[in-house]
Amino acid sequence: MQLFKEGLVINPPSTNGTLTQPDSKLRARYHAVRNMSEQICRPLTPEDCVIQSMPDASPIRWHLAHTTWFFETFVLKPSRPGYSVYEPAFEYLFNSYYNQVGEQFPRSQRGLLSRPGMAEVMQYRQVVDHAIDELLEDEENGQLDELFAVLELGLHHEQQHQELMLTDVKHLFSCNPCSPVYRPRSDPHPAPLPPMDWMPGDEGVRWIGHDGEGFAYDNEGPRHEVLVQPHQLASRLVTCGEFLDFIDSGGYERPELWLSLGWQTVTQQAWRAPLYWQQHDGQWNHFTLAGREKLKPNEPVCHVSFFEADAYARWAGCRLPSEAEWELAAAENGDMVGATFAESQRFHPASAPSMDDGRLQQLFGDVWEWTASPYTPYPGYQAPEGAIGEYNGKFMCNQYVLRGGSCATSRSHIRATYRNFFPPEARWQFTGIRLAK
Ligand SMILES: [Fe+2]
């Protein structure tokens, strides 16, 4: 096979063939998830797909190849004796962080790669999709149960990368003074902002963590008991208008509001507002995937770090919820009705609905909610054996848990027990604030 060949035609993945039980649902889901990645690329030019705008972000083309590498490495290679990888060099280029698989091309240099080009990456995707189709058609394969679990993991992995593709494109476009539009958006007429009510949370010795029904990442278990103190949660998210009050009252200039590391970051990075916010002639605007827009005060504040969320909460006389408090609330209130997920194609958080049904609003979708909980293993947690055990467990240090998903998360990817995690200074994800006290 010629290395990094170009000029190939991009075709939609094959969905031909007769589907048979028990794999038909999984196969349909496989193609739906894989198609979604390619749909995300549709508004982009080939040039958009090769740039890395900062070390934390990756080029879109890298995401497309890496998610394919995941299926090839963890599903096809172990299950197909004699399977020949599409291109041996890809094992180095598109391995993200799996040391037990092998060495990795440096993350911060992913934007230096002009080859393989988009056409070859799309060809790679097609070849692997075809091999997965063949695997799912092979009813004689005695390893199917175990393979299905890894295949399902691969689908959730790809959905995680779909969210990263959107947030990485947003960061990339924000660097462009022409303010490119990824997808135009029309907002409904703004409804009155509902008051921030305080709802008592579940307290006492309670159970949290995944119960084993359906898919979950390893870090969501084991289910275990926690002691939850009496507390209240805010009925909705903190808005841009409320965060502006924090800014206007000197929030970014008062060290007493900040954790020491947070204040150090504010000083070093010269933070004066959330990421993507700018002030011109006294008016605030922010960059969105629909281009640069005037700030709308009723929309949830977004692209704040843990440090900013924590400082805002202290300024407001409150605190951030613990992940146990959040999960118990989500188990009770979390029907996801009306939540803004990636399927809406808004890719921007929506204002809280003005009707008050006595339930917590915006728990799912819109923005990931920072919690006060450090990302640590649940009691009894053990990472799975082998390279796949590197997926979550080795990151349980110096990060905080976020809950609920965002406007860039697929609805089928999220659940009440889902534990996302980012370092406290990270701002380029759709991250916001719910208060607790
Ligand atoms: Fe990954």
Instruction: Give pLDDT tens digits for 95-114.
Output: 999 999 999 999 999 999 99
Q: What is the mean pLDDT of each run of 10 residues along the chain (437 residues)?
A: 28 31 76 97 96 98 98 94 94 95 96 96 98 82 75 97 98 97 89 92 97 94 98 97 98 98 98 97 97 96 98 98 98 85 96 83 96 98 93 95 98 97 98 98
Q: What distance in angstroms lies between residue 371's CA and the mean position of ligand 1's atoms?
A: 23
Q: What distance in angstroms lies between residue 98's CA and the mean position of ligand 1's atoms?
A: 9
Q: What distance in angstroms lies between residue 106's CA and the mean position of ligand 1's atoms?
A: 14
Q: What distance in angstroms lies between residue 423's CA and the mean position of ligand 1's atoms?
A: 17
**Amino acid 5: pLDDT:** 29
**Amino acid 166: pLDDT:** 98
**Amino acid 23: pLDDT:** 56
Q: What distance in angstroms lies between residue 164's CA and the mean position of ligand 1's atoms?
A: 10
Q: What distance in angstroms lies between residue 268's CA and the mean position of ligand 1's atoms?
A: 30
Q: What distance in angstroms lies between residue 351's CA and the mean position of ligand 1's atoms?
A: 31
Dihedral (Cα; 254, 259, 260, 262), 10-degree rounding: -80
Give the integer Cα–Cα distance in Å for 352 and 339.
Answer: 10
Nearest to 352 by CA among 339, 369, 370: 339
Q: What distance in angstroms lies between residue 256's CA and the mean position of ligand 1's atoms?
A: 38
Q: What distance in angstroms lies between residue 230's CA and the mean position of ligand 1's atoms?
A: 38
**Amino acid 142: pLDDT:** 59
Angle 113-388-423 (CA atoms, 0-180°, nearest 5)? 65
Q: Is the dihedral of CA 375, 381, 384, 387 positive or negative?
A: positive
**Amino acid 1: pLDDT:** 29
**Amino acid 143: pLDDT:** 61
Write the DSSP symbol of residue 73: I
Spatial neighbors of 284 by CB under 8 A, at least 6 apart, are 240, 244, 273, 277, 278, 294, 295
Q: What distance in angstroms lies between residue 274's CA and the mean position of ligand 1's atoms?
A: 27
**Amino acid 91: pLDDT:** 96
DSSP string, 171-238: HHHHTSTT---SS---PPPPPPPPP--EEEPP-EEEEES--SSS---GGG-S-EEEEE-S-EEESSPP
Q: What distance in angstroms lies between residue 348's CA and the mean position of ligand 1's atoms?
A: 23
Q: What distance in angstroms lies between residue 94's CA and the mean position of ligand 1's atoms?
A: 9
Q: How far is CA 197 from CA 127, 190, 228, in A?
A: 53, 20, 20
Q: What distance in angstroms lies between residue 75's CA and the mean position of ligand 1's atoms?
A: 14
Q: What distance in angstroms lies between residue 95's CA and the mean position of ligand 1's atoms?
A: 8
Q: What distance in angstroms lies between residue 343's CA and the mean position of ligand 1's atoms?
A: 21
